[in-house]
Amino acid sequence: MEKIDIVKQEALNAIEQCSTLEELNQIRVTYLGKKGPIQSLMSLMKGLSAEEKPAFGAEVNACKQAVAAVLEEKKTELEEKALLERLVKEKIDVTLPAAPIKTGTLHPLTLVAQEMEDLFISMGYTIGEGPEVELDLYNFERANIPQDHPARDMQDTFYINPEVLLRTHTTAIQMRELEKAGGKLPVKVICPGKVYRRDDDDATHSHQFMQCEGLVVAENITLADLKGTLSYMADRMFGKGREIRFRPSYFQFTEPSVEVDVSCHMCGGKGCPVCKGTGWIEVLGGGMVHPNVLEMAGFDSKKCSGFAFGVGVERVAMLKYGVDDIRNFYINDARFLKMFDRFD
Amino acid sequence: MRCSINWLKKYVNLDGVTPEELAEKLTRAGLEVEGIEKVAEGTNLVIGEVLTCVEHPDSDHLHVTTVNVGDEVLNIVCGAPNVAAGQKVIVSKVGAKLAGGFEIKPAKVRGVESNGMICSLSELGVDKKWQTEEQLSGIYVFEEDAPVGETNVLEYLGLDDTILDIGLTPNRADCNAMWNLAVEVAAVLHREVSLPAYEGASKCGAPTSFKLASKTEKCPVFVGKVVNHVKVGPSPKWMQNVLHSYGIKSINNVVDISNYVMIETGQPLHYYDLSKLPHHEITVVDDVDMTMQALDGIDYEIKKGDLLITTGGVPTGIAGIMGGEESKIDEQTTSIFIEAAAFNAVSIRNTSRRLGLATEAASHFIKGLEPLSQMKAVDRSVQLLKELAEADGFEENVQVGVIDESVKTVTETLTHCNTLLGTDFAMEDVLKILTELNLNPVQDGDSFTCTIPSYRTDLNIREDIDEEIIRMLGYEGLKKTLPTMEATVGELTPIQKARRTVRTALSGMGLSEAVTYTLVSKAAIDHEVMSFGSAVELASPMSEERRYVRTSLMPKLMECLAYNAAHKNENINLFEISAVYAQDKVQERVGLVLSGSLQNSKLHGVNITSDFYTLKGVLESLLKQLGITANRLNYKENTMDVKNFHPYRSACIYLGKELLGMMGEVHPALVKQLGLPKGAVVAEFRLDLLMNVKLTKVKFKPIAKYPSVKRDIALVVKSEVKASELSAVISKAGKALVKNIEVFDVYEGEHVEKGFKSVALSILYQADDHTLTEQEITTVHTNILSALEKQCNAVLRG
């Protein structure tokens, strides 16, 4: 029996002193192998009486299990240690620059137009479209702007021939949408698009720019409805809590017509350089659809009414992002484009 | 429209109303005041008399003066060259504030004490264009009788005025007439307006022999009057000041009256020196080609269509724009002929523009006149000529055409008004403001009928009246509501959805969206990609750079690339979505330009080069997201456009039989010419085409349950054999068992015979219903190899 204890102690000492997994494996082979000292204890059984044998056998087995258990414990310990050492070696500099996952950006005019589209889609509008090479009919005649009206002087036009031109406003799309509706109510449409005017390009003028117009025609549409609708739009485009102010204006296709000011998003209306100290920024135009426009498109102006509004997409983008020169939108300098990585 | 507050005060009591308050009220009512301008500025001013003036002991240009300002004598150092003893001058005393915030403080000028300043008009902020040479060159000197000690200096000078600069909307051209503006001002202030009584003043005079005719419908009305006696002289100071405030230089009483009446009534007038008209006859024509000298001494080319005033068949004025030199009023004039005509706005606009003659008269015609303005102007002319130019010897009016004296009425109901506006205005308030606007409303129950004055040509329908009501009662109280109606569905159309997919997909892959100009030069049309008709050309372009509507996106996108390259911006990867136009045709296209790399990092060993194959990958990934899987695309070598593309590194992409797009490297010659980054690749394809084809639907397929086996082969084939041909043969020979073919190496060089290349492919075998046996794989693989050998002369590389 003492012999067992001696062997066991020897094995445990060896395990204790072992420091690598290789050594430990050697110990396992040495002590627990078929020719190892524990197994060879079994040969001592021969000299024992039948009564002693079972107890001795059990004792050897217990010794074997105890050694195996300690071995396993030590193995786990050494493995953990080895892992820790490896991890230390794998240390990286977390401040090194990232691998590139470059994404592109959407054009700021797209960001603004899509935001408007999404707002109006959520209110049940569809998005109207039409050709940029447009008929005089839809651009002027249907919009209640007859041939020699002074308004045609205000909107100097790129004509292709007397009947065809580059559209000067997205009102042309609205006129097509009205015609398409064929007198059927309601019409609820928003019309974004490029438009063209004979302007010399400078910081605030561009011969090409983007407009977005909206149109609702149904029974009992009121000017107050326009104010409510635009109030939602102002909140969405410039941040919650914007105020809306109407001022009288003149457009041929609406009567009454209004200019729409939005309380300044930079100063909240207190007055700052962006709003030139007034607290208000002129952003939109709109009004109640002129009865002539409704009638020309086949609607009975006595049975329905409508509102329309229009906004310059560049104007919104310039105000919102503080862009100081409209030409930036068309140069496509990579340094400019990459600033607009979200609508914000 | 420039509006003098002093002038307004003649018609409306402005007591207690500051120009700023008035400006705010007018703006709220739709007459937007864009600027408030003081004619002159200065506090603590006094008229002084220069008692002594000697040269400064320590300066070669300064003077030391003593100036009597009534209650004291000031010592003032003055730098003006024209200062002299005995002059009556403008003195700004210590503490004065002048134009631009300049403040007068006691000072020592080179050792001499100076308590104040003798002023020029410029120092009071008077615009240079209203000053004479003499006034500009030094201090202002009063007439001898100027009262020393007078402190209301600006008023004494007639410069104590404020000008409102009003931006009128086209419908309110009537407010270019001061009288009509005065009515508006009175209405916004809820005060009385008192305009001069002048009606019928021209109903006087002896029978006339003057003959008037119009040979064109562009001059429907012409009222004229002979005045056989006038006395030309300076016009009164008040009239000069008024014209001055309006931006018109005073000439003499007669000419000034014509301008003054134009501003009052809006009707441009022309007064001729009667003695210089060779015939007592005027005819308006529009069918002459000639050169004529106008009042400004310059020769102008007159063309058919221009309205012209002739007398005895000889032109004497460009109608509505400028009179002729010969019949100009001067100091010797003793008799005149008054012209008040209606000339067609469009015709005047065209002529005025072409000749570059934007006169005040032309501007009034262009903006439009009211029907009664000719008669009003002649009446008022007669009245003022009598008062200020001793006019006498009148002959009766001569007239061409009929003045429209019909009276318009518009009826509206309070219910409709409130329904349209979403308001709850009361009848009482509505009637009050309509009365103040001179619209003479007469109530009948819920409705009211307005009698529209002649000058309000903008008021024709009930909605026009509604606008008058709300602009005067104010938009402030308007509620915010949303339209009430049956619910509608808001949604994107397929093409609108496709555009968004393009944007999301491409920006996700690292491309940024560009927006470029639609109008392009001839060169851009010459470099179009996928021509589909001749370009739409502008009738009158502003420049050659912008003469055509673009037929393809590529030229402008390449321009963007060149711009960025020139600005040292690297790795430029852009796309644009836009419609392009040809005669009677439109296509919607997507353009892509790639340069440098899409993703790269030396540090991390990443480099996705922006080359042909990256572009192809971008396109295929995008098209897949649009519902066109790569196997539906057919790439053919490009033989149709070798001007824009590298002829051997470009492809035409077909979808079925239709040309979907083109892609490839930019032709090296073009790269050099435009200054593009080397190896730039571009693609352009038709988004509209995808709307007409069946898109591949997303469909579930059970995930493969049985293992797959991969076999790699390296084939030696002739150099011209395409990878796609090999793949096609493999797919066909391997049938359903071939799940994927990957080309992983292409090699040409040392170890391969000249004219041949080695292509390494990896073939993935898999069955849907069982695990493939070694036997099965060997059979199909052998079949594939023999098919490759037969059809492509492909030899398995040892």
- At residue A49, does pLDDT exceed 90? no
Task: Find the mean pLDDT for residues B734-744.
Answer: 91
Q: What percent of chain B has pLDDT over 90?
A: 78
3-state secondary structure of B176: helix
Task: Find the mean pLDDT for residues A29-42.
Answer: 81
Cβ–Cβ below 8 Å for A250 and B172 = yes
User: Which 191-220 residues of chain B touch chain A by CB within 8 A?
Assistant: none
Cβ–Cβ below 8 Å for B513 and A105 = yes
Rounded-to-integer distance, Cα B5 and Cα B245, Å? 9
- At residue B798, does pLDDT exceed 70? no
Q: Does domain B494-690 have CATH number 3.30.930.10?
A: yes
Q: What is the pLDDT of residue B704?
A: 86
Least reliable range by pLDDT among A32-46, A313-327, B771-785: A32-46
Rounded-to-integer distance, Cα A276 and Cα A279, Å? 8
Q: What is the pLDDT of residue B336?
A: 96
Rounded-to-integer distance, Cα B651 and Cα B635, Å? 6
- Domain boundaries B2-39+162-189, corresponding CATH code: 3.30.56.10
Rounded-to-integer distance, Cα B474 and Cα B489, Å? 35
DSSP β-bridge partners for residue B637: B651
Show residues of chain B in contact with A258, CB under 8 Å: 475
* Secondary structure E strands in B474-517: 512-513
Task: Find the mean pLDDT for residues B425-434.
Answer: 97
3-state secondary structure of B473: helix
Do the Cβ atoms of A291 and B463 come closer than 8 Å?
yes
Rounded-to-integer distance, Cα B269 and Cα B385, Å? 13
Give, in order, the Cα–Cα distances in Å from B220 to each of B69, B150, B310, B340, B408: 61, 54, 16, 12, 20
Torsion sign, CA atoms B176, B180, B182, B184: negative
CA distance A264 to chain B (A): 17
**ipTM for the complex?**
0.89
- At residue A151, does pLDDT exceed 80? no
pTM greater than 0.80: yes
In chain B, which residue's Cα lies nearest the Cα of A96?
B603
The runs of H, that is alpha helices, within A52-150 are 52-89, 108-122, 136
Rounded-to-integer distance, Cα B282 and Cα A80, Å? 115
Count CB-CB contacts under 10 A for residue B353: 13
CA distance A338 to chain B (A): 8
Q: What's the mean per-residue pLDDT of chain B?
A: 93
Angle, CA B620 vertex, CA B618 and CA B624 arms, to 5°: 120
In chain B, which residue's Cα lies nearest the Cα of A339?
B512
Give, in order, the Cα–Cα distances in Å from B514 to each of A20, A108, B236, B644: 63, 9, 63, 20
Q: Report cis status (omega within 30 of 0) of the bond before A256.
A: yes
- At residue B734, does pLDDT exceed 70? yes
Count CB-CB contacts under 10 A for residue B521: 17
State both tokens at B586.
């439109």
Asked whether this chain's domains B494-690 and B709-796 adopt the same fold, the reply is: no
B23 touches A: beta carbon within 8 Å:
no
- Of how many residues is chain B composed? 798
Q: Which residues of chain A form CATH 3.30.930.10?
A: 108-337
- At residue A152, does pLDDT exceed 70? no
DSSP secondary structure code for residue A139 in this structure: I
Task: Find the mean pLDDT for residues B693-720.
Answer: 91
Rounded-to-integer distance, Cα A313 and Cα A192, Å? 9
Q: What is the pLDDT of residue A153?
A: 54
A and B: number of Cβ contacts within 8 A:
241
Q: What is the pLDDT of residue A150?
A: 58
List, for residues A211-235, the tens digit of each pLDDT value. Answer: 999 999 999 999 999 999 999 999 9
- Domain boundaries B408-473, corresponding CATH code: 3.30.56.10
pLDDT band with cut points at 50, 70 and 90 for residue B749: confident
B102 CB contacts (<8 Å, ≥6 apart)? Answer: B123
pLDDT band with cut points at 50, 70 and 90 for residue B483: very high
State both tokens at B286.
């529009």
User: Which 145-184 residues of chain B touch chain A by CB within 8 A?
Assistant: 169-173
Rounded-to-integer distance, Cα B573 and Cα A340, Å? 15
| Backbone dihedral angles phi then psi of residue A286, each to the nearest 5 degrees | -175, -165
Cβ–Cβ below 8 Å for B421 and A102 = no
Task: Find the mean pLDDT for residues A53-68.
Answer: 85
State both tokens at B439.
């619209």
Q: What is the pLDDT of residue B39?
A: 86
Rounded-to-integer distance, Cα B379 and Cα B179, Å? 14
- At residue B697, does pLDDT exceed 50? yes
Ordered by start, the domain boundaries in chain B are 2-39+162-189, 45-157, 211-400, 408-473, 494-690, 709-796
Rounded-to-integer distance, Cα B455 and Cα A138, Å? 30
Least reliable range by pLDDT among B429-438, B463-472, B773-782: B773-782
Architecture of domain B709-796: 2-Layer Sandwich (3.30)
Q: What's the mean per-residue pLDDT of chain A?
A: 91
Q: What is the pLDDT of residue B327?
A: 85
B409 CB contacts (<8 Å, ≥6 apart)? Answer: B449, B450, B451, B452
Radius of gyration of chain B (CA): 42
Q: What is the pLDDT of residue B373?
A: 95
**pLDDT: is B423 or B170 the higher one?**
B423
Q: Measure the CA dihedral A163/A168/A173/A176, to 10°.
A: -20
Q: What is the pLDDT of residue B491?
A: 94
List, for residues B556-605, the tens digit of each pLDDT value. Answer: 999 999 999 999 999 999 999 999 999 999 999 999 999 999 999 999 99
| N-term to C-term CA, chain B | 93
Pairing mode, if any, of strands B290-293 and B738-747? Answer: unpaired
3-state secondary structure of B771: coil
State both tokens at B115.
């308590």
CATH superfamily of B45-157: Nucleic acid-binding proteins (2.40.50.140)
Q: Does domain A108-337 have CATH number 3.30.930.10?
A: yes
Rounded-to-integer distance, Cα B519 and Cα B537, Å? 9
Show residues of chain A in contact with B503, CB under 8 Å: 106, 110
Exposure pattern of B603-613 as b/e (b: 16+ CB <10 Å)? Answer: eeeeebbbbbe
- At residue A36, does pLDDT exceed 60? yes
Q: What is the pLDDT of residue A154?
A: 47
Query: Domain B211-400 falls in which CATH fold?
Result: Phenylalanyl-tRNA Synthetase; Chain B, domain 3 (3.50.40)
Exposure pattern of B5-40 as b/e (b: 16+ CB <10 Å)? Answer: bbbbeebbebeebebeebbebbbbbbbbbeeeebbb
| Consecutive H or E run containing B548 | strand B548-549
Task: Find the mean pLDDT for residues A185-201.
Answer: 95
